[in-house]
Amino acid sequence: MSELVVETQDLTKKYGNFTAVDGIDLQVRKGEIYGFLGPNGAGKSTTIRMLLGLVKPTRGDARIFGLSIRQSPMEILKRVGAIVESPSYYGNLTAVENLEITRRILGADKKEIDRVLEIVNLSQWKNKKVKNFSLGMKQRLAIAQALLGNRELLILDEPTNGLDPAGIHEIRQLIKNLPGMLGVTVLMSSHILSEVELTATSVGIISRGRLLFQGTLEELRRKSENEICIEAHPQDKALKFLESKGLKVKARGNRLFIKKNSLDAAALNRALVMEGFDVTHLSTEGKNLEDIFLEITGGDAI
């Protein structure tokens, strides 16, 4: 098991009676792109703000690089680049001046500014005031700020929010290449399932402040085990018959559903027919990630 870059224990934030984040245990491993997925208002931003020390946790702790954000925020933040609720900038300054603020605080080399501008493809607009930038350019500048000074962890809150399709594609591509190109670990939040599916290697699903699933994308897909769907008559007897064979059967409408696991659909069909049932429909159904997501979050739309 590789080294944990981000690890939270029982991280909780309450605003009065409202629990925005409820005992979250995040685990982000080195070198991965961790997609932090959840519907709007699920607690993603609050969690990210707690990781960055912008919001004080009510309970629990967040450890980044093994250090506690409560005790050593300066040591941690030196090594973390962040975008919090896109995009943040000083509009009266140019791209270079915005980066200069970051550079001075970090004490990084002057050359860093050109390097990160090159990565996000903003070099030709570097002396333009940022308030005149398009949203996509502002977002690229935000990523440049986060990359400046060879940071080891990037925390990106909704990095593609509000961008047009071309911009979304561009930013996703950029994020996807980061771990390979620069060796950074990325924690990105999103409310778009397909985005996480396309960019992330690991997923955490949060809904109403609770972390409902955490694992690799592969593990999430494995949850989409197929079901066998059967229409057999008479249905109640068929149900009893299948249950007597030790199968877990769920009846929905006029159909029976059985978890496929290693079951052979043909053998099942044969057994039913031999027993004298009329099988009028038999199919295997796979769930897509959308279905799994809805199942995990209990129907909260994304």
Partner 1 sequence: MKKMLEVELLKLKNSWVLLVATLAPGFMVFQGVANFLRYYELFTSRGQNVWHQIYLQSSIFYVSAMLPVLITLIMVSIARIEYKSGGLRYFLTLPVKRSGVYAAKLIVGCMVCLFNVLVFSLSLLVAGKIINAPGSIPYDILARPFMAYIASLPVMIITFLLSINISQMAIPLGIGIGLALPSLLVANTRYWVFYPWTYPIMAALGGDFFEKAYFPFAAGFLIFVLLAFAGLRWFMEKDILD
Should residue 96 be labelled a site residue for partner 1 when binding is judged by CB under 8 A?
no
| Binding to partner 1 in span 239-298, by CB under 8 A | none
| Of the residues 92, 134, 177, 280, which one makes contact with partner 1 according to CB under 8 A | 92
Dihedral of the alpha carbons of 280, 282, 288, 293, in degrees to the nearest 10: 70
Should residue 142 be labelled a site residue for partner 1 when binding is judged by CB under 8 A?
yes
Q: Residue 234: is the preceding peptide bond cis (ω within 30°)?
A: yes
The CA–CA distances, whole Å, from 156 to 34, 59, 210, 233 equal 10, 23, 20, 54
Between residues 37 and 146, which has the closer beta carbon with respect to partner 1? Answer: 146
The CA–CA distances, whole Å, from 77 to 82, 92, 151, 155, 296 equal 9, 25, 9, 11, 33
Should residue 105 be labelled a site residue for partner 1 when binding is judged by CB under 8 A?
yes
Q: Which stretch binds partner 1 (CB under 8 A): 84-92, 187-195, 261-269, 292-300?
A: 84-92
Phi and psi based region of residue 65 (left: phi greater than 0; alpha: psi -120 to 50; beta: remaining): left
Residues in the chain: 302
Distance CA 183, CA 265 (A): 46
Q: Residue 221: how many CB atoms within 10 A of its CB?
A: 16
| Of the residues 39, 41, 53, 179, which one makes contact with partner 1 according to CB under 8 A | 53
Distance CA 57, CA 62 (A): 9
The CA–CA distances, whole Å, from 199 to 40, 98, 196 equal 19, 28, 5
The residues that bridge with 206 in the sheet, in sequence order, are 211
In the complex, minimum distance from the CB of residue 20 to partner 1, in angstroms, rounded to a whole number: 10
Q: Which two tokens stand for residue 236?
A: 């109640």
| Of the residues 88, 134, 173, 283, which one makes contact with partner 1 according to CB under 8 A | 88
Q: How many residues bind to partner 1 according to rule CB under 8 A?
A: 34
Q: Which stretch binds partner 1 (CB under 8 A): 26-34, 94-102, 164-172, 218-226?
A: 94-102
Interaction mask 6-45, partner 1, x per CB under 8 A: ----------------------------------------
| Of the residues 23, 73, 167, 179, which one makes contact with partner 1 according to CB under 8 A | 73
Should residue 135 be labelled a site residue for partner 1 when binding is judged by CB under 8 A?
no
Q: Which stretch binds partner 1 (CB under 8 A): 54-62, 159-167, 245-253, 270-278?
A: 54-62
In the complex, minimum distance from the CB of residue 154 to partner 1, in angstroms, rounded to a whole number: 11
| Of the residues 4, 67, 93, 249, which one makes contact with partner 1 according to CB under 8 A | 93
Should residue 54 be labelled a site residue for partner 1 when binding is judged by CB under 8 A?
yes
Between residues 105 and 273, which has the closer beta carbon with respect to partner 1? Answer: 105
Q: Which stretch binds partner 1 (CB under 8 A): 85-93, 169-177, 247-255, 262-270?
A: 85-93
- Residue 12 sits at φ, ψ, to 5 deg, of -135, 140
Of 120, 55, 117, 115, nearest to 85 (Cα)? 55
Q: Which residues bind partner 1 (CB under 8 A)?
A: 49, 52-56, 73-75, 77-78, 80, 82-85, 87-93, 97, 100-102, 104-106, 129, 131, 142, 145
